[in-house]
Amino acid sequence: MNPVIDPKALVKTSHINLNHLQTQLRAQSYGQSTGVGFQRALTQAQQMGAGGNSTSILGPQTASVSVQSGDTLSGIVRQFMASSGKNVSQTESMRLAQEVARGNNLANANLIYPGQRINLSALQQALNASPADVQNTAGMSKPATPSPNPAQTGVAATAQVQLEARGNVSAHPVLDKTLERAVTKGFIPPHEKQAVMDKILQLSKEHKFKPDDFARLTLMESDGMNPRSTNNRCHGIIQFCDGPDRGAASAGFGQNPRAILGHSVLQQLDMVSKYFDDTGLKNFGPAGLDDLYLTVLTPAARNEPRTDVSLNIAGPQAPYLHVNRDTKAPITRASILQGLHQNANDRLGLKAEGNPAAAAARAQAIRVSAYQANNEIR
């Protein structure tokens, strides 16, 4: 699918080869946070008219590339960012891939085709950002700072803008919203809400994951911290499963797994801590959302680090977790990340919009919708 192009922005048409561009970039002194070296190398590459696949130049310093056989969007992102001297984590590359997909009007960031032209303008802001802005998103979250001119795009970024635009900026907007929803739905007594928040923040520091990611995990597993969620085989807020060496046994309920359902969210969080200890989550810290979720779903699958490789997970699982939401398709780290973000947005009543600024302006009108418990989970 070709990107929508503003004719006024069509400054110049040239040909550029991504591999050649990378070679040029490595030869430059582009270590400064301003990204001036990258822009200089890109301009030189444009002027040289290097051979290879045809790519359009949208604006004087914005490149697009032609997809080659075997390419993935997240792989293109990692290559392009590495060429500028900025290595990004798997989680960050997936977030940037979502932004690139939105910039190209792609409905699915996991579906690109040989010969397809991909505009990379969404990466320019990341390339020119300070090192603190391009960080490993698997690390501990920092208090969010609202931008007067929101420039982020993509499912997760738009949700962040909408959540933060409600008045008081939160360091953990997804967790805050999930806890509010859990109180409304009767999962957590109002007087225990702060204690639950404090316990999750404590767990996140101890086991090295982001509090908002834990909220996304529970939104998938138990409709957002429903302590009575069950599918008759798995139970509670993270779905402790029956069987030897599984979650219920780790939590101390191997003989009577269903007894977990009689415990509160606050009590079940102590079980979660023990389970995370037993499964060695700390060894993956700072843990990204994919490793955090795989620790709950199938810990052995964490051994496969590649983002687009089919994981050895018994299925079918919830459609959100599969590539293209097709339960006959595989589950990959990429599909897990995309699915958990989208599921969280859907359950919290947030919708991705093309214009984050407009989303922020309308955020005050967003109300949380009521959802039925997800019986498809495991």
Average pLDDT of the residues in 69-76? 83
Instruction: Identify the band that residue 107 occupies on the pLDDT scale cut at 50, 70 and 90.
Output: confident
Res. 97 pLDDT band, cuts 50 70 90: confident
**Four-CA torsion 374, 209, 124, 130, nearest 10 degrees:** 150
pLDDT reading at 46 higher than 50: no
What's residue 351's pLDDT? 62
Q: At what angle do helices 73-83 and 18-26 cross, to 10 degrees?
A: 30
- Is the per-residue pLDDT at 94 higher than 70? yes
pLDDT at 331: 95
Please give the average per-residue pLDDT across 274-284, as a whole number. 90
Mean pLDDT value across residues 16-40: 44
Question: DSSP letter at 202?
Answer: H
Pick the residue with more confidence: 22 or 33?
22
> Is 58 or 227 the better-scoring residue by pLDDT?
227
Q: What is the pLDDT of residue 1?
A: 42
**pLDDT tens-digit profile of 293-341?**
999 999 999 999 999 999 999 878 999 999 999 999 999 999 999 999 9
Give the type of residue at 273. S
Nearest to 363 by CA among 377, 376, 350: 350
CB crowding 289-324: b at 16 or more within 10 Å, else e = bbbbbbbbbebebbeeeebeeebebeeebbebbbbe
Tokens 């290097």, residue located? 50
348 touches 159 (CB < 8 A): yes
pTM exceeding the 0.85 threshold for the entire prediction? no
Joined together, the tokens standing for residue 333 give 């780290």
pLDDT, mean of residues 43-64: 43
Examine residue 150 and say whether the peptide bond preceding it is cis (omega within 30 degrees of 0).
no
**Helix 193-207 crosses helix 211-221 at what angle (to 10 degrees)?**
110
Three-state SS at 261? helix
Judged by average pLDDT, the poorest of 116-120, 139-143, 278-282 is: 139-143
In tens, the pLDDT along 333-376 reads 999 999 999 999 999 987 654 434 334 433 333 333 333 333 33
Closest residue by Cα to residue 183 from 175, 172, 192, 171: 192
Q: pLDDT by residue (tens digit) across 253-274?
A: 989 999 999 999 999 999 999 9
- Identify the DSSP state of 281: G
**Backbone conformation region of residue 129, classed left if phi is above 0, alpha if psi is from -120 to 50, else beta:** beta
- 209: closest CA among 133, 268, 280, 307? 280
Most confident of 52-56, 67-71, 311-315: 311-315
